[in-house]
Structure 1
Amino acid sequence: MYKKEELVVRIVELRGDYFQMGLEQGKELNSLSGFLQIDQLREWTSQANGQKSKEMVEVFSPELFQELRGLAEGLNMELESTIKLFSGYDVVFPEMGCTTLVNDGYYVRNYDFSPEMYDARLVFMRPCNGYTSIGFSQQIIGRLDGMNEKGLVVGLHFVNDEHKDEGFIATTIVRMLLERCANIDEAIAFITTIPHGYCYNYSITDKSGKSLLIEASPQQQVINFTDPLICTNHFKSERLRSKNRTNIQGSVKRMEYVSSLLTRELSPMSIYHHFNKENSPLFFKHYKEYFGTLHTVVYSPKDLSVIIGIGENCTPMIFSLKEFIEGRLTLPEYIKGTINQAPRK
């Protein structure tokens, strides 16, 4: 029997320098008792080297380092402890699922995980000295997916945690890409230099309409330009196929279903409903097994619009990143949706 629950995603608006935005988020978290799973984060980062994490963040993203400084002050926490918990460097993280299609100038995605470990935050960020962006946060500074003012869109897809090495988790890498890259070429240049902690796929597109799949392991990254782009949770390249999990049937099945949609002419709104309806082969309810659909999002790089729904059969909200940049967008406090949790398998 399914258990019906309301899922509330808060909308966070951040403007200013990175230290100020970190400070604001630290104070926000302090005021939200029980929002952040600190005990879980401590478990995931128990083996991390705080000093090494600090050094790596400073090298690869001085902007995020300043945000972490502000976050530490807002949380009344030591800087090294804050960086260890939130930087995403050398972190253990559970499996998750996601399905993405990039086609005809839009990027649509379902994100599948557990509501218990979901930030449930949609962040609009306008830094003084970086690209403005919109994206769903994870571990506060990280992003599950997002789009910046230049039209670069990035999302992550978990593949395997059995080939772990010291490096950044994908949520931090997505955030860094949105922060500093204006297009696919810049994204390739950056993502192939940063140390990767796990095996992940990255689905990327930009305002030009080009789409890119990056299969990334700690040892190597495989670049594949593909149009249309369909991405789930396994590696397809011969060079990295051996790093897949033993059972990838579900991932393959989702990819095949998305391929079948390409025979139809679909607008961004119609493709949203194909992903978001409760009986879609792309919508899952196994939240207790970390595989339940939490949000559906459609990013349109050319006009910087975003269609968002939380949970299943959600009447979507539409936002304009362009209007946010121009100061013409009035943001609500939250987006609500409904999830129906299936019994544990």
Structure 2
Amino acid sequence: MGDKMDLAVDVVALKGTYEQVGFKQGQDWKRDERIEFTQEMTKHCDVNETKSRLMEYMPFLLEELKGVAAGLGMKEDMAIRMFSGFDVTFPQMGCTAFASETFYVRNYDFSPELYDARFVFCNPDDGYASVGFSQQMIGRLDGMNEKGLIVGLHLVNERHHRTGFLGTTIVRMILDQCATIQDAVHLLQNIPHGYCYNYSIMDRSGESVVIEASPNHQVVRSQNQVMCTNHFEMDVLRENNRPEISQSKTRLNHLEHLPKQKLTPLLAYQLFNEEESPFFFKDYQEYFGTMHTVVYDPMNLSVTVGIGGDCEPFEFSLKGWVVGDIELPNVINGVFDFSR
């Protein structure tokens, strides 16, 4: 593989009915080499139960998956099993997020082998427009919608598992259906969770919270400025943490110094994206290398993105895209350094 790897992240624009959105994604899907891996991850999924749960909580995604199946030339049941995010096994990942009163910044840590490499602008007819990084096609790792609601996921423990939805599908639900933190909290407390995740959330009012969510409990942790990594802090949920959380705690300790620095969005991007930063990692072969840095601005509906480390930021406007004032590039390029 060498010490460095180039990666082009596709910039995807989706508009129309949910079925049309799904069909375009199915047609354009380029990650054929991951089909077998995805099938293995989802082999225990009960399609009938998945359909029932989707109809109960997110029927719009069932329509999207119908379109995905048609676009891929795949049976609908197979597309539902592979891309719904219901009853899925998943390797561990890491994420670090900080939210001030005016912006939200985050690094997502994983592996290029399993990364969708898709930055998606989506404006469905019956849901809120949003922008964010996809996972398993229809899911989102993080994102911001037209109401200025921002959400990112942080996997806490992949070993505590129950039949339920993957965090990436839940993030997508929030972006499409929720306008405020209160909406998001209500949704998170009323759906079946498959794993233990933190959800860091901010809305246009400047309010921010962390929702600590296990399959059994969901607890709201309010903070003036969100600082979130990959472990639970609330007493009722700490037993769900991984046995070793020292690295997650170390990152959290570094975050606690940020409020004193009076960061601007650009300074926050630079701090998180620098390869020497305490928030940046190169453990790509252990599923813990920084894939992207992103800053969301809920007031301006702008987003700043970097793929890999030490890269010039790419800037986008969700509002500008929705009203048709801007054209999107086809890709965002980045470089990953595998040396340590």
Q: TM-score, normalised by structure 2?
A: 0.98
Structure 1 position 148 matched with structure 2 position 153: no
Match of 1:97 in 2: 94
Equivalent residue, structure 1, for 2:266: 269
1:306 correspondence with 2:285 = no
TM-score (normalised: structure 1): 0.97
Task: Please say if residues 101 and 207 of structure 2, whose CA atoms lie closer than 8 Å, have aligned partners that are also in contact.
Answer: no
**Residues 305, 321 of structure 1: 8 Å contact kept:** yes
The 1-side partners of 2:158 and 2:293 are apart by 25
Q: In the alignment, what sits opposite 2:21?
A: 21
| Residue 119 (str. 1) matches residue 116 (str. 2) | yes
Structure 2 residue aligned with 1:168: 165
Task: Find 1:331's aligned residue among 328, 331, 336.
Answer: 328
Which residue number in structure 1 is paired with residue 226 of structure 2? 229
CA distance in 1 between counterparts of 2:101 and 2:267 reads 13
Task: Quote the offset at 1:260 in angstroms.
Answer: 1.5
3-state DSSP of counterpart to 2:257:
helix
* CA–CA separation in structure 1 for the residues paired with 2:258 and 2:201: 20
Of 231, 237, 242, the match for 1:240: 237
Kept in 2, the 8 Å contact 1:287–1:342? The answer is: no
Corresponding residue number in structure 2 for 1:252 = 249
The answer to whether the 8 Å contact 1:15/1:128 transfers is yes
In structure 2, relative to structure 1, the CA distance for the partners of 1:36 and 1:147 (3 Å cut) is farther
Dislocated runs of 4+, deviation >2 Å = none
Task: Tell me which amino acid in the other structure corresponds to 2:227.
Answer: I
Structure 2 counterpart SS, 1:37: helix
Work out whether residues 207 and 224 of structure 2, in 8 Å CA contact, stay in contact via their aligned partners in 1: yes
> Which residue is equivalent to 2:107?
110
What is the Cα deviation at residue 88 of structure 1?
A: 0.2
SS in structure 2 of the partner of residue 99 of structure 1:
strand
Secondary structure, in 3 states, of the residue corresponding to 1:6? Answer: strand
Whether 1:68 aligns to 2:65 is: yes
SS state at 2:316 partner:
strand
SS of the residue aligned with 2:90?
A: coil
Deviation at 1:80, TM superposition (A): 1.1
Displacement after TM superposition at 1:104 (Å): 2.8
C-alpha spacing 1:114/1:306, structure 2 compared with 1 (3 Å): same
Aligned length, in residue pairs = 340
1:23 Cα deviation after fit: 0.7
CA RMSD of aligned residues (A): 1.2
| TM-fit CA distance, 1:59 | 1.3
- Equivalent of 1:289, from 286, 289, 298? 286
Identity over the aligned pairs, expressed in percent? Answer: 50
Instruction: Give unpaired runs (5+ residues) of structure 2.
Output: none
Give the CA deviation at 1:162: 2.1
Q: List per-residue Cα deviations over 1:120-164 (Å, max 9, x = no partner).
A: 000000111110000100000000000000000000000002221
Q: 2:131 aligns with which of 131, 134, 138?
A: 134
Deviation at 1:76, TM superposition (A): 1.2
2:4 is matched with which residue? 4
2:295 & 2:33 partners in 1: Cα distance?
27
Q: Deviations over 1:32-79 (max 9, x none)?
A: 3x4451111111111111111111112111111100000011111111
Distance 2:80 2:28 in 1: 17
Q: Which runs of 5 or more residues in structure 1 are unaligned? A: none
